Structure 1
Amino acid sequence: MGDRQSLKKLYYFFLNCLSFNTPEAIVFNISLILIILAILPVSDLSYLPVRCVFKYFLLPIVFKGSCPSSGLFFECNCPFCGITRGMNRFLHGDIKEAMKFNIIVIPLFFAMIIVLIINLVKVIRKHK
């Protein structure tokens, strides 16, 4: 019975992480994202296939199969293109190159840190 309870807890933790549903999940996800981008060598990231998550996956779901980049972002890139590579460069201290990928990287980093701190405080207060 104990193993079943453990699996159930793990299952709900996994679902919460996918949905960013709880402060614990938010802290876990943001920390994991920042750690992976900080550890991943800059040279290795350039070998990965370039697929903007927003342009190729999220926006087509929201807009029923077609990204609005042809209308909403006419003749310009989606505002999120280059965020992953830019954040990777930023976390390795290469601010100039990070801003070449996407200027939103620096404000996004500080927004992530603020959200991380707010939710970390919530988690600490909850477990006191």
Structure 2
Amino acid sequence: GNISGVLGSRLASALHLGLIDAELKWNKPLADNIYASMILNVVMSFLLGIIAYYAYIFAGFSDTASIIQLTLISLIAGTLAGVILTALTVLLSILTFARGFDPDNILMPSVSTVGDIITVLCLLFAIKLVGFLPFI
């Protein structure tokens, strides 16, 4: 949600400056913002997976999950949520601007809220996919 919130703010600024048209057309500023957002999602997911492993060990759970499992769960969930939220953010920013609303006022609350829900669902999906919690 946080990365998509920043993306939404950048897209709103680009829309106000006329760098991006208020229609779903691919252009360089839009592509650059999406690319940067996705790279940031993948890098942060990877790093958070490693941090989660060491927090896991520090909490005394070192016998259950490996660093590969936790990093893979984080990468899958973060990347999947990032793709979904990036698409939603681009769509919402263009639609709200085209209807005469300020995307800054609409995107942050909506993307943050929806982002939390989507990220939790993606986390549960990634946990199931990796097979760490077979009962989910």
| TM-score (ref. length: structure 2) | 0.30
Q: Which of structures 1 and 2 has the larger relative contact order (alpha carbons within 8 angstroms, sep 6+)?
A: 2
| TM-score (ref. length: structure 1) | 0.32
